[in-house]
Amino acid sequence: MVFLIILVSILIFALFRPGSKPTSLIVNGPFDLGSSQSIVPMSLDNTGFLKQGDGTFQCFVYMDNLAKTGEVNTCGIQPNQPSCASGLYGECQCSNINDCGNCAHPGYRELFSLYGVYKLEILNIPDASRQNAVSCQLVIRTTDAANTFIETISLPPLPVQKWVMISITKEGREMNIYFNDALVSSSKTINLPTATNIGGYVANAGASGLSGSIGLIYLSTEKLSSSKISSLYTYSTDTRGSPKSIETKSTGFSMATQFLQSSPILSNSFSLPQFNNVQPIPIMGGDGAGSQVSPLYNVRSSYA
């Protein structure tokens, strides 16, 4: 009898590990991109993506036509100016470890930001003064221990009026960015990405001047392979590239939270959630097994 009690206790601890934090999470959404707001509550994350060398951030984005404004920004040789020849930004050293305002990119809107360290920016103005302007870029806050820098990775234009699955994987200084199932950039930062939460949040999205939606947010300490990202895109979209069974980009969402705890003993697969009023999509995990999750905030937990 004593042996049985000990065995059951060990199994319970191995399966659920009381007090442990999840190393991956999923937030359903959708969220409006018209203003900045939190899309991942602080309570649902243990900063594993930020502090560990490997990780994946993934989301679906629907952008309306970009808004026209009267802004005009010039190229040049200053640290916060893009090259007049290429339209690219070089490495910019911040004024101090806490202030990178001198490295800001005028005219760009922040589509989403992770911890204030990783930001995807969009240039949403027609700017005749910068013919080579990069319309989409990933901005990363980095450090060499003594100084802080802003480094920028140029990306292709983000398609509008259609759903796009954006995936960012990292391994140390290496950053891979995918649009849908296509690798659009593979780059290494000059310095190591900052491992400190600068923004005081997990993930924010949206800005004045943007119009659209973001949802199906996935954050993990695992670096997904190209083949797994391709499989995720195939299983989670219809023939038009839209998340399955979603007819509009503005469906409502519930703020309720559901924790789905698992461990390698139970399963090594993972799932993407679905918007409200649709069927869950089975996603293939590392063992080829399918699993399902319901809408709402979804956190599928795995433990280090």
Residue 13 lies in a domain: no
Tokens of 168: 């960012």
Residue 157 lies in a domain: yes
Per the structure, the count of domains in the chain is: 1
Q: Structure pTM?
A: 0.76
Residue 261 lies in a domain: yes
Residue 12 lies in a domain: no
Could you give the CA distance from residue 293 to residue 237 in angstroms, rounded to a whole number?
A: 16
Residue 125 lies in a domain: yes
Where residue 263 sits, what CATH number does that domain have? 2.60.120.200
Tokens of 261: 């705890």
State in Å, rounded, how far the first CA of the chain is from the last one.
31
pLDDT in tens, the chain (304 residues): 555 555 445 444 444 444 445 577 888 888 999 999 999 988 887 778 898 889 999 999 999 877 666 666 778 888 888 888 888 899 999 998 888 999 998 888 999 999 999 999 998 665 545 556 788 999 999 999 889 999 999 999 998 899 999 999 999 999 999 999 999 999 999 999 999 999 989 999 999 889 999 998 999 999 999 999 999 899 888 888 888 743 333 333 333 233 222 222 222 333 333 333 333 333 323 333 333 333 334 444 444 4
Residue 230 lies in a domain: yes
pLDDT at position 137 is 95
- Sign, Cα dihedral of 295, 32, 163, 161: positive
Residue 36's domain comprises 20-301
277 φ/ψ angles, rounded to the nearest 5 degrees: 65, 25
pLDDT at position 52 is 84
Residue 7 lies in a domain: no
6 φ/ψ angles, rounded to the nearest 5 degrees: -60, -45
Residue 15 lies in a domain: no
Could you give the CA distance from residue 136 to residue 157 in angstroms, rounded to a whole number?
A: 6
